[in-house]
A and B are shown apart, each in its own frame.
Chain A
Amino acid sequence: MSFFRSKQMRYYSLVIPRESAWVVMNELARLDQLHFVDYDPQLPMISRPFANYVKRCDDSIFKLSCLEQLLKEFKKDLIYCENVDSLLDYFHQVQYDRMKPGHTYFDELEQEIDQKKIQIQEQSANLQNLLDRVNIITEQKLVLENAKEILGQSVFQQQTPHNVNDYQQLKFGQIIGVIDKEEEVRFKRIIFRVTKGNAWVQIKDLNNEQIDNSMRKSFHLNQNNASQPRCLFVIVYPGAEESSSFRMKLMKVCDSFNRQRIEYPNSMDEMQKKMIELSQQLQEAKNLIEMTKQQLEKSLDGLVLQKQGCNCSYFEYMRLYVLKEKYLYVNLNYLTMRGSIFTGYFWLPEGMELVVEEKLRNAMKNNRDHYPTGQIQEMKPYPYTPPTYFNLNEVTMPFQEIVNTYGVPRYQEVNPGLFTIITFPFLFGVMFADIAHGFMLFLCGIYLIFWRNSLQKQTDSMFNQMIPFRYLIILMGFFALYNGFIYNDYLSISLNLFGSCYSPENEEWKRESKDCVYPFGVDPVWQASGSSLNFMNSYKMKLSVILGVIHMLFGILMKGVNTLFFKNYLDFYCEFIPQLLFMICTFGWMDFIIIVKWLNTYENNTDPSIIETMINQVLKPFDEPANPVFPNDPQFQLRVTQILTLIAVICIPWMLLPKPLILGSRHDNNKVSMSDSQYQPLVMEKQVSEQDEDNNQQFQSDLQNAANLRSFTEQGKEEHDSGEIWVHQMIETIEFVLGGISNTASYLRLWALSLAHGQLAEVFYDMCLAGKLDAGGVLGGLLGGYFYIVFALLTFGVLMTMDVMECFLHALRLHWVEFQNKFYKADGYLFNGYSYKKILNDNLKQANSK
């Protein structure tokens, strides 16, 4: 029954001595059944006892993510863990083999991660430095070569002028260097301003990033685009003296651009020498790079390696272990520390107590130092409501998810998720009714179910995202197929599967025999009759109202079940019963006459209009119906409708009045004894704190304050109550009565969407296929092929994706609004089990999707 109602929960307190806290928490996390309650939600995380552990874990995770970056850069593929259970067992095994207290393993790992990170980062920094060095050397070479081209030979052959005034023989100096490409214009301008135009500046692109990348490629490294484009500059200025102020100033400007300046050799020979020197340096640097790279790869390989018995890379192993450790400490932080004892509270599903105690005993046994382990004790859960816990499996999960998206069920109330499993795909099917389309959806579901394992590996596949919803999809497909058979609709064509009861004869349809009925679904002859749309519309419309009323009545019944379960007899008698009666007497009756009308034959245009009958029933309560639904018994019909209308009208004040009146009188009675009840919570809170034997004054006064506050607000609430109850009840009543009409109308979407679906399918069929395939010859074949492709694409794009989505959304709405508003409170909160498995699984997904 744990899916019909959420599991019964018990509230326990847990007491663990400090020494064994880690062991106990480690054991309990394997159980997946505890929901820890934060002892003091106001307390900031940072001032909790294990905040620094959490912090350390975070640091380690950060370091690991740095390493991961490097691993990716060097294209090392990690082996990711696929089975969390076996990994957890492996963790356990490692702990067991260590023969040391469990929590110290994290210290070791932390140190190891730290070392690895420092070591590897150092190596990669070295590599980067060397690469930069190589870059600089190649750049120098390039600059020199280019400068030689620009300046030419004549620079070396300048003579000291004999005559200072002889401009022909003026000597020129030059500055050569590298700047960032984006600063090119600025550089030129500043030089111009500083020299007042008396210098010649030449700038040329170096294309250094290409060189950089090609060099990285030659070492099989990833290309990075971080290197900015640079260019070389050559400034030629008058006056060659080394120490002229002009030169000094230019140098200062060039230096302020933060890139290198290169000495230009004085003669051709020196130039040659310099080039050779540079080539040598380059070679040396390249050798060094090769060596560094090998070292780095070796250390990285150590991380990728799979340890014996473990199902993933060592890196992944460390990452998951640290995550697990962090999770443990975060949860341990929910407990409070008193001296050397931790106290905390948790929720546990009923009947699990023994298992937890067993675990605790186990922890004691496995505990090397045989410290006493924790103890649990059941507590009164007041004033907290327990969490809502369902034991879900892969089939029920998506349906519960549909319900939870609207709101998590209140603790122990009827869970709409159970009914949703069938009603949701069914209502979807009513709207998406088509044999072919339904079958395609069904096939899609089958594909997802049977090829699940191989699909799971294709992370980029669209189907991968749909895997969790595979059972939902297959059911949706199945019901669409089923309803398609009922409507007898195959891509807008009716199938004559069982042989129609009518056959054409002299331009008229002749019925085979009086008793002949098409065995399943609608007789295909309707499609040929010309009035098929009229017939189908009326049929689908009535069907959807019938389904809707049944659905809603079921919802109201669930309300009854809820009120009985919670022993809320006031609601049972003053809300549930009038609501049920109202619904049955109005729309239930309508459904009934629809069916009666189907069963009877009417002669001479006396067939009754259902809407008219319903309206007259209220407007002319004493007139006999002109076209009675019961052909022979109008008197009987009148009497029944009179009674039903009377009941329905009585139900409205019944819903509105008694509940607030009774609550009001109860309130008056309570006023006398209120002084007692007011102090009730206070005393209980005190007991709780006394049990902890803690005389912390602050804590006591806080509790006192909280309790006072609560009783104060309760008092305030009581005063407002009677007015509020009236307003509330009025809203409820109006909502229900009006909702009865509007919700019933809302179910007409079942008809409308299936009509839209059918019409779309028909349009596509008529426009693309019908008639187009008749043309013969090669051209006809080609055209037929072409139109078929158009048809297939349209069918897929519009019907199989958009219409599925649309029908899904409308089915969702029918459940959330029309069905669930009849009984569903949806103000619970989810059970959040303390489980390694969950946290690791969550983090596995991330690693895979990256």
Chain B
Amino acid sequence: MDLCVFGVDDGYAEAIIRGLRASFLTEAQYQQMKNCASIPELKSFLEETDYQNCLQADNPQIPTSILRQRLKKKLADEFEYIEAQSTGTLTKYLFHLRCRFMIDNVVNMIEGLKNKIDIEILLSNIDPLGWFPEIKNIKVLEGDDYSSLYRDVLIDTPIGVYFMKFLEESIENLHENRTLNDIQNLFREMKPEYIRTSLKKMWLEDFYLFCEQELMPTSQEALLELLKFEADFKTIQVIYNSIGNRDLNTAAKIITTRKQLCPTIGNLYPDCEKMYLQAMTLDALREAVKGCDNYRDLLKDAPDPLKREEFNVQTKTLDDIMYDDECRRYALAFDGQGSYGVFYSYLKLKEQEIRNIIWLAEMISRKLAKNHPGWKKIIIPFSHLGK
């Protein structure tokens, strides 16, 4: 039924997205990019593609960070246009999508301020997709006082809800008779990465709920599936990264932290929860997730996190494996008709494309030999479909 009326409100936005499909770089184009000998050459190549307009005004020797910023700006512009053309649920949905980038931005700002990086530099580095007007007011942050940051600035923002929940949870976890000092200590020790992971977890759960409650069945079907996998990947990542992590010295602490950070949605939750929370080695993790889908195959090639020191550029890390599998799923979801999954997939795939370009730019600027295995470490969107 919803397929009949999908086009009434969302047809135009979907059509634009379908049109933007043509802007993805092809495998042949990636091949040419690999053949570029220098950054100016890469830039002039990109000017032949859809990225032409956003790069034209720049100096040929463009630094990678600015290149990334330009590419992201283009994506953000496209997305903003679509958002402006959307109505009703789709607008809400697209806004929800952007919240993920807002979280990244806020955490990056906090991290930067903690490291005493100049606010102007921080502002110029924020992801344009996650821009919101309050972001510059984060400057008000004093020391580690996240609660006053929340009270003064973030309360009004779309991600305020997540931040509040995060603060509440962190404080609740303290022992009963806590003092103000304890709270300050807690915040001082808290790593921005930890904040990011928890906020994203809450966002993911919230987004999942939103999709479940507000979207039409077709969109739900596509999106919930994607989000479940994403939640699972997040879980696996958390477990994987916490294996052998020295900051978490006791087993009990590891488990509580894991419990906090793992999303409470997905295929792994709650069936495998007990198993994966207690997995202390890679093999145990593999064992824990073997019941679900192809996770076991994915983890088969993952390098052992206990030997983290031995990793180098060539290692195909867990992230790479995950991206690869995600990319396949998004490409499939992109081809689904009449669902909001298209927008999500587009965003994800474009992000992947930007990551690829930046990676290649790094490789080029380091002047690595053409037979270096790093050149192969790009995941081309839609390349899985042909196989």
Contacts and interface: CB of A to CB of B under 8 A. Distances in A.
Interface of A: 44-47, 55, 62, 183, 186, 189-190, 193-194, 249, 252-253, 255-258
B48 A183 contact: no
A747 B151 CA distance: 80
Nearest to B48: A46
A256 B139 contact: yes
A230 to B, nearest CB: 15
B121 to A, nearest CB: 14
Contacts of B134: 186
B132 to A, nearest CB: 11
B45 interface: yes
Given A46-B32, A46-B45, A55-B44, A256 B136 contact: yes
Contacts of A46: 32, 44-45, 48
Nearest to A252: B140
Nearest to A187: B137
Nearest to B137: A256
B335 interface: no
A256 B140 contact: yes
A258 B136 contact: yes
Closest 6 CB pairs of A and B: A256-B139, A256-B137, A194-B152, A193-B152, A252-B140, A256-B136
Interface in B84-126: none
Nearest to A191: B152
B206 to A, nearest CB: 24
26 contacts: A44-B32, A45-B48, A46-B32, A46-B44, A46-B45, A46-B48, A47-B32, A55-B44, A62-B56, A183-B133, A186-B134, A189-B156, A190-B153, A193-B151, A193-B155, A194-B140, A194-B152, A249-B142, A252-B139, A252-B140, A253-B137, A253-B140, A256-B136, A256-B137, A257-B137, A258-B136
Given A45-B48, A186-B133, A190-B153, 12 more contacts: A46-B45, A46-B48, A55-B44, A183-B133, A186-B156, A189-B156, A249-B140, A249-B142, A252-B139, A256-B136, A257-B136, A258-B136
A96 to B, nearest CB: 34
Contacts of B153: 190
A776 to B, nearest CB: 60
A258 B124 CA distance: 13
A697 B142 CA distance: 69
A193 B136 CA distance: 17
A190 B134 CA distance: 10
Interface residues of B, number: 18
Contacts of A189: 156
B120 to A, nearest CB: 10
Interface string B132-158: 011011111010000000011101100
A186 B134 CA distance: 8
Contacts of A257: 136-137
A249 B136 CA distance: 15
A576 to B, nearest CB: 45
B204 to A, nearest CB: 28
Nearest to B148: A194
Contacts of A44: 32, 48
A159 B142 CA distance: 33
A258 B136 CA distance: 8
A482 to B, nearest CB: 49
Contacts of B155: 193
A255 B140 CA distance: 9
B273 to A, nearest CB: 39
Contacts of B151: 193
B189 to A, nearest CB: 25
A190 B44 contact: no
Contacts of B137: 190, 253, 256-257
Interface in B24-65: 32, 44-45, 48, 56
Contacts of A258: 136
Interface in B273-294: none
Contacts of B32: 44, 46-47
A190 B48 contact: no
A566 B137 CA distance: 80
Nearest to B31: A44
Contacts of A252: 139-140
A257 B142 CA distance: 17
| Most chain A Cβ neighbours within 10 Å, of B44, B137, B153 | B137
A45 to B, nearest CB: 7
A255 B138 CA distance: 11
Contacts of A55: 44
Residue among A47, A55, A189, A256 with most chain B CB within 10 A? A256
A551 B45 CA distance: 54
A45 B139 CA distance: 48
B73 to A, nearest CB: 19
B46 to A, nearest CB: 10
Contacts of B152: 190, 193-194, 253
B109 to A, nearest CB: 11
Nearest to B44: A55
A194 B156 CA distance: 13
B141 to A, nearest CB: 9
Contacts of A190: 137, 152-153
A194 B140 CA distance: 10
A840 B250 CA distance: 77
A252 B140 CA distance: 6
Contact of B139 (A47, A62, A255): A255
Nearest to A59: B56
Interface in B310-353: none
A71 B285 CA distance: 67
A586 B109 CA distance: 86
A255 B136 CA distance: 10
Nearest to A248: B142
